[in-house]
Chains A and B, each alone.
Chain A
Amino acid sequence: METLTTISPVFDVQSIREFFPILNRELNDKRLVYLDNAATSQKPQVVIDALSNYYSHYNANIHRGIHTLAEEATAAYESTRVTVRKFINALLPEEIIFTRGATEGINLVAYTWGRQNIHSGDEIIISGMEHHSNIVPWQILCEEKQAILKVIPVTDKGELDMEAYKNLISSKTKLVSVVHASNSLGTINPVKEIIDSAHQVGAVVMIDGAQSTVHLDIDVQQLDCDFFAFSGHKVYGPTGVGVLYGKKELLESMPPFMGGGEMIKEVTFEKTTYADLPYKYEAGTPNIADTVALKSALDFINEIGKDAIRKHENDLLKYATTQLETLPGLRIIGKAKEKVSVVSFVMQNIHPQDIGVLLDNQGIAVRTGHHCTQPLMTRFQIPGTVRASFAMYNTKEEIDKLVSGLQKAIKMLS
């Protein structure tokens, strides 16, 4: 069994914790143990400072003003785009569209590319482990266009049934939209294989990177995905900003999502022409402050190093899995070979919500419920799970607290 002692000496979790002021909070006189990182990650001081610094020193509307503040704000906003391009290795900065989050990114594609390209009888493939945000937009589209939604089944281990996927793919398939890493199970899906198979039949592929972007190295060119969406708040950045990556030729061929300022070239009452990428998809004054601070979050990750973070998180995942399995009546849901640092479980004869309430009283924050993946819960015939998800600042000691907290909860409930 690997323990934290194997972590590379340059990665010192105690000094990393000092970057996150919220980790000093106490609940019920107990130091917060935050294990709900798959819902949202906590923010390092540099991100909080970036927000405050923006509003304190150079708040201005971007792209239009000719004054100094507008220039500074525009430069900061656009430098986040450049940082994001590098972070996911997109070819061009204009392939990076700022959104409110992964959900908006998926909806943007459904409402623009989808409406333009999906017709009656066409098929869209998603998977059985999708978040509702990667189900509902396609259902709306399918209803509108009389298209057909097909679902890749999930195995007992919590992996995608790739044989079944190969059988679903056909010349009718126009779009495949799958999650890179499952928020409920942690499963890392073989997206490269999924993308290549889809491309063989000419289908376009959207990847929901909401969970994967913080943990895995993302290279959209190597993946060759057509669209990739993620949220800022799950990568140690602010809420309310996200990214949609799209291949330039696709983004250019699609109609705009929302009309308004910023996204136009020329407006007359007869005919409006649209701005070039990426502004065509960024109507109105964008979320400047949060977008600016997103750069600080990505720089912070780069500075710590994704390899070191991943090694630490993998060690935590292994330790947590081993420790949790010692508890009688506990069953881990999602035993995929490749996982991000998410562990979901159920307790025999105990409702996940009861566990969540009793852990909360011990200062331990986990997620309980269906995690916005109701079809997946139905697949496993459970009302929901308890989910612990780990970030760079979590420790082995916190997992020990989770285990003893669970023991206490089980004792109280039985």
Chain B
Amino acid sequence: MNDNRTIEQAEEEIIDAFSLFDTWEEKYEYIIDLGKKLPPLDEKYKVAENIIKGCQSTVWLVTDFADGKVFFKADSDAMIVKGLVSMLIEVLSGHTSDEILNAKLDFIREIGMMNHLAQTRSNGLLAMIKQMKNYALAYKGVNEPEKTT
């Protein structure tokens, strides 16, 4: 996260990891594993204002702004969504507002997970990407870095 990789490099690494998988089971086991490894969000952050409500599952998203970079932490009550959320954090967290706003996030299509962004899934993932970009936009032009969480 807090390293020197660009967003594209982080996306590339995920695509590379998925290229090793032949079956849907391997892909999902990997995503589930990422979900399990994502550190759970402290309960104090699991409040209404941090909720990105999907129809079925819930995502909580909190941000930090430091040194001109936006940092994300998130959690979900559903494991596969949590794994997908973990990848989004891996890719977007620790970058500037402009970088985040310009991110195309093509890796989601590349690894065959576009269906999770479909409206029928209603899992809050699409809403989460929008919200991450909204935060990035909100931090844009903030001269004095300030902590929000």
Question: Measuring CB to CB, which residues of chain A are less than 8 angstroms from any residue of chain B?
Answer: 28, 350-354, 356-358, 361, 368-370, 383-384, 412-413
- Residues of the A chain whose Cβ atoms lie less than 8 Å from the Cβ of B78: 351, 353-354
Given the interface contacts A354-B78, A413-B32, does A28 sit within 8 Å of B56 by beta carbon?
A: no
Q: How far is the CB of B128 from chain A (nearest CB, A)?
A: 14
- Residues of the A chain whose Cβ atoms lie less than 8 Å from the Cβ of B80: 353-354, 357-358
Extra contacts besides A351-B57, A351-B79, A354-B79 (6): CB < 8 Å: A353-B78, A358-B80, A361-B28, A368-B56, A383-B57, A413-B32
Task: Tell yes or no: B29 within 8 A of A by CB.
Answer: yes
Q: How many residues of B contact A (CB 8 A)?
A: 17
- Residues of the A chain whose Cβ atoms lie less than 8 Å from the Cβ of B116: 357
Task: Tell yes or no: B77 within 8 A of A by CB.
Answer: yes
Task: Tell yes or no: B86 within 8 A of A by CB.
Answer: no
Among A353, A358, A361, the residue within 8 A (CB) of B56 is A353
Whether A361 and B81, one on each chain, are in contact in the complex, defined by CB atoms closer than 8 angstroms, is no
Task: Tell yes or no: B114 within 8 A of A by CB.
Answer: no
- Residues of the B chain whose Cβ atoms lie less than 8 Å from the Cβ of A412: 25, 28-29, 32
Whether A28 and B77, one on each chain, are in contact in the complex, defined by CB atoms closer than 8 angstroms, is no
- A sample of 24 inter-chain contacts (CB < 8 A) reads A28-B24, A350-B79, A351-B77, A351-B79, A352-B56, A353-B56, A353-B57, A353-B78, A353-B80, A353-B123, A354-B32, A356-B56, A358-B28, A361-B28, A369-B55, A369-B56, A369-B122, A370-B55, A370-B56, A383-B56, A383-B58, A412-B25, A412-B29, A412-B32
Q: How far is the CB of B111 from chain A (nearest CB, A)?
A: 14
Please provide the chain B residues from 1 to 43 with a CB less than 8 Å away from any CB of chain A in the complex.
24-25, 28-29, 32
Q: Which residue of B lies closest to A352 (CB)?
A: B56
- Residues of the B chain whose Cβ atoms lie less than 8 Å from the Cβ of A28: 24
Q: How far is the CB of A242 from chain B (nearest CB, A)?
A: 22
Give A211 to B25 CA distance when docked, in angstroms: 35
Give A356 to B123 CA distance when docked, in angstroms: 12
- Residues of the B chain whose Cβ atoms lie less than 8 Å from the Cβ of A369: 55-56, 122
Give A368 to B121 CA distance when docked, in angstroms: 10
Contact with A along B71-89 (1 / 0, CB 8 A): 0000001111100000000
Q: How far is the CB of B121 from chain A (nearest CB, A)?
A: 8
Contact with A along B110-133 (1 / 0, CB 8 A): 000000100000110000000000
Q: How far is the CB of B126 from chain A (nearest CB, A)?
A: 14
Whether A384 and B56, one on each chain, are in contact in the complex, defined by CB atoms closer than 8 angstroms, is yes
